[in-house]
Amino acid sequence: MILTTTNSIEHHKIVDYCGIVTGVSMKMREMAAFGGKEKQAKQMAEALNQLKEEAFRELQNHAKALDANAVVGIHIDFEPVGTGYYFGVSVTGTAVKVA
């Protein structure tokens, strides 16, 4: 599956638009953070990368369910949720069929 933030794919023609797809992943923020700020920052980066990968897997599963072979115009959002005890990643794009 081709995934891109652009609205077109070089050397490919979009032959069908299947719909908008989204992948979302959330995690409760760890309340007990041990170590210095550098270690905490590294742990947060690792957690966000894991959430991003989970959201992309969900996005691809939704696109496959629509018989798409690509997703264009992908937008990624990293957001605190609610009162900040949770944080999440959402990935949205347009599922398409390309030739």
- CATH of residue 88: 3.30.110.70
Alpha carbon separation from 42 to 20, 33, 38 (Å, rounded): 33, 11, 6
Please, which pLDDT band fits residue 15 given cuts at 50, 70 and 90?
Answer: very high
Buried-state track 47-80, b at ≥16 Cβ within 10 A, e below 16: ebeebbebbbebbbebbeebebbbbbebeeeeee
pLDDT of residue 2: 97
pLDDT of residue 78: 87
Prediction pTM value: 0.84
Closest residue by Cα to residue 58 from 74, 47, 46:
74
Tally of structural domains, the chain: 1
pLDDT of residue 84: 64
Residue 28 is part of which domain span? 2-98
pLDDT above 70 covers a percentage of the chain that reads 91
